[in-house]
Structure 1
Amino acid sequence: MEGKNKINVRRLVGASLLTIFALGTLIYAQALFEITWVGIIRQYQHFLYFYAAWAVGLAIWYFVTIKSKPIKKDEIIVKIIFFFVIALNAIYAALLGDSNATFLAVLLMICYAVGCPWGKLGYKKHPYIESTSEPTDSQHSSSLPWYKTWWAWLVIVATIIFASGAFIIMTDGSFRNSDNSTDPFEESHKSAANTINVDYKKYKIKAVKTYNINYTDKSWDGGSIKINKIKIYQTAKPYKFDSANDGNFKVNGFARIYMTIKAQEDINIYPTQGTYNYSNGEQHEVDSSEDWDGKINADVIKSGTVTLPIEHLSSTSSIKNIRMKFEGYDQDEDDDSLDKDFDFTVDLK
């Protein structure tokens, strides 16, 4: 193993694993293009491309040092930079709730570690050398292999940085036209838009999650109320929001509730004028221009949305339930038999 021309099998295995990792993540990332360009999937693609770029660079490092003892100083620098950067990405992914990206970061670190001579026995079998021999200035560029020159590794590092940045730009939804006339991120997660319109204003979206609720309240003689789904939108940044009743405050997201009302009598019902409570303690009234409710005659089915601001939102999964309160009554104001104060809570899961 220590001979000049003998292959370091451990580094060969490490390089092979890194190559497989890079190819797998690149193929996976390309497959995600068919799903969406923005939101959670785009964010996941960023991690995939970043990890793949690092895996390619490290695979090159191992392949070119298979037949020689690596320089200790160079190897330590690579180790420190790699584990620091990838560990930060793993932590960041975990904070975003992206467990897949965190897992891939750990897997990448394992693939890299496989090729390293860890432990006392490993260093004994494949020891480092402290530095390269010192050739004369005239022989310097020609006597050293390219992988033992500073400029070669400068090119590799620059390539990794460039590739990572380029892939992030390539997967940014702002470079691709999207149809904002339809609501983003349908149940199949096969379409997306990077903004949400609320009261004629556009808010840039960082992530969105759809909860299929399928809750129906049939306790009212006037008709039934069905909550079809709820979407939680996380904005790309805090936005100033001018509410009708609570003044100005910063929002970090929105909740959009999809509901269907099936009337059995001539009724008045106003979910767009109700109050809504989140599990984080916030209470909001509807401030959007949605006005699809009101008078609904017997045997008529009407569907619409209720959109509400969210002041505090760390992720699209942080809201656990929503309490909904609104009124319904008979169109004949002299008949109070159908007066109903709706008050129910739906879980987001």
Structure 2
Amino acid sequence: MKNNKPFYKIWWFWLIVVVLIVIIFGMIGGGGSSSDDDTSNKASGHTTTQTEKGAKSSSNKDTLDINYDNHKILDQKSYDVSFNDNSWQPANIKVSKVSIFKLNPYTSDDDSNTKAEGYIIIHMSVAANRDITTYPDQGTLVTSDGQQVDAVLDTVKGYKENWAGEISKGVTKQGDILFPIEKLSKISDMKTLRLKFDAYYDTDDYEDENANHSYDITLNLN
């Protein structure tokens, strides 16, 4: 009579069990592994921007900074000018640029509570052929739409104010002349600008009629 052993006492049964265990653990340890998984994706970082924080941009492209207050620009236009006046021999006056801004109305003079809707900036240089004194940055402007306004010594970001005065022979000073404009419906309304200011030089000759000169300049805006 043939003696049959229980299956768990047969040596090859346990060999099969061991092989299966090795295969299962191998699959678990390497599961999901592929050449794609071994490739690392690159990442970069940066300081969180104001926009990402939800803050407004600090750019002043759409504002004019007057006396450290930003005023919204509704419209603007710049004119390249080639004006040269050497009619008074002691000095040579040049105007190279005019910029006009239409702004949200703002208080341009706290004392009088005057409002302004616009701003005109004239860039000028003065070359002295002898010692002179002149203050074009304190001159008067007459606009083609009938407004007359005195220049102010505001602080406007990007522009140079309070630059004139005494100018020695051989020296050229340049800067900007600043005018808040009370009424400005459209920039195109400004066809011409008439600028007036005085200049003089010191002399002991009381009969020297050339010692004082009044500039009266008209700029055509095309």
TM-score, normalised to structure 1's length?
0.43
Q: How many residues align?
A: 160
Pairing 1:222–2:90 present: yes
Question: Which residue of structure 2 lines up, in the alignment, with residue 210 of structure 1?
Answer: 78
Question: Which residue of structure 2 lines up, in the alignment, with residue 347 of structure 1?
Answer: 220
Paired with 2:68 and 2:131, the residues of 1 have a C-alpha distance of 31
Instruction: Give the superposed CA RMSD.
Output: 2.1
Question: Which residue of structure 2 lines up, in the alignment, with residue 325 of structure 1?
Answer: 196
Q: Which runs of 5+ in 2 are unaligned?
A: 1-54, 155-160
Identity %: 37
Q: What displacement does 1:288 show?
A: 2.4
Paired with 1:198 and 1:328, the residues of 2 have a C-alpha distance of 28
Match of 2:162, SS state, is coil
Q: 2:123 aligns with which of 249, 258, 264?
A: 258
Flag the 1:243–1:273 CA change in 2: closer, same or farther, 3 A.
farther
Q: Which runs of 5+ in 1 are unaligned?
A: 1-173, 181-192
Match of 1:307, SS state, is strand
| One-letter amino acid of the counterpart of residue 262, structure 1 | A
| One-letter amino acid of the counterpart of residue 180, structure 2 | P
Q: What displacement does 1:176 show?
A: 3.6
Paired with 2:171 and 2:211, the residues of 1 have a C-alpha distance of 17
Flag the 1:243–1:220 CA change in 2: closer, same or farther, 3 A.
farther
Whose relative contact order is higher, 1 or 2, with alpha carbons under 8 Å and at least 6 apart? 2
- In terms of Rg, which structure is larger? 2
Q: Show the 5 A alignment for 1:24-39.
A: none
Question: Which residue of structure 2 lines up, in the alignment, with residue 267 of structure 1?
Answer: 132
Q: What displacement does 1:320 show?
A: 0.8
Judge conservation of contact 2:203–2:211 (CA < 8 Å) in 1.
no
Q: Show the 5 A alignment for 1:133-212.
A: 175-178=56-59, 180=60, 193-212=61-80
Q: Give every structure 1 segment of 4 or more consecutive aligned residues whose post-TM-superposition deviation is greater than 6 Å.
A: none
Map Cα deviations across residues 246-280 of structure 1 (whole Å, 9 max, x no partner).
x3322111000001111111110110121111111
Question: Which residue of structure 2 lines up, in the alignment, with residue 281 of structure 1?
Answer: 146
Q: 2:178 aligns with which of 300, 307, 317?
A: 307
| One-letter amino acid of the counterpart of residue 270, structure 1 | Y
